[in-house]
């Protein structure tokens, strides 16, 4: 009797199932890492805006702006005012919120900066003055 060489159908199926499972696991991990990276980007942007408002804007003016735009935070990259999906702060679907309080004639006494995170609860920075 002659012995045939090669793989059996079961062996090929096992290898295919293993490769598909490995591909699914790697894809899930990639998406997890990307969402963690977007969360880090959001936190860094909020911190940069916060420190500019506290250390530059407030020290110069003695109040916080009622509206946050490029003119209010001149010392930072304007791209930081857009979330990872390119939506400008305070626009309807933006992940970033600037919420001034106790405002009079465009001059505010306090503020909070907020961003929605994918893997954690909202990240919030409040004015210290």
Mean pLDDT across the stretch 54-74? 91
Higher model confidence: residue 27 or residue 74?
27
The encoded tokens of residue 23 equal 């591909």
pLDDT value at 2 more than 90: no
- Digit-coded pLDDT (tens) for 91-112: 999 999 999 999 999 999 999 9
In sequence order, which ranges of 1-129 are alpha helices (DSSP H)? 9-52, 59-61
pLDDT digits (tens, 9 = 90+) for 66-83: 999 888 888 888 999 999
pLDDT of residue 1: 58
CA distances from 98 to 3, 29, 49 (A): 75, 32, 10
Determine the pLDDT at residue 70. 86
Query: What pLDDT is stored for residue 118 in this prediction?
Result: 92
Classify residue 117 as exposed, middle or buried by CB count within 10 Å of its CB (0-12, 13-18, 19+): middle
**Average pLDDT over every residue of 50-62:** 93
């Amino acid at each position: 009797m002659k012995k045939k060489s090669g793989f059996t159908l079961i062996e090929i199926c096992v290898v295919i199932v293993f490769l598909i499972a490995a591909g699914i696991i790697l894809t899930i991990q990639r998406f997890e890492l990307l969402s963690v990276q977007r969360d880090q980007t959001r936190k860094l942007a909020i911190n940069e805006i916060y420190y500019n408002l506290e250390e530059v804007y407030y020290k110069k003016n003695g109040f916080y702006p009622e509206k946050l735009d490029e003119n209010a935070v001149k010392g930072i990259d304007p791209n930081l005012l857009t979330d990872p999906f390119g939506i400008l702060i305070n626009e309807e679907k933006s992940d970033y919120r600037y919420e001034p309080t106790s405002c009079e004639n465009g001059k505010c006494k306090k503020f909070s900066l907020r961003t929605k995170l994918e893997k954690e609860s909202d990240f919030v920075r409040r004015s210290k003055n």
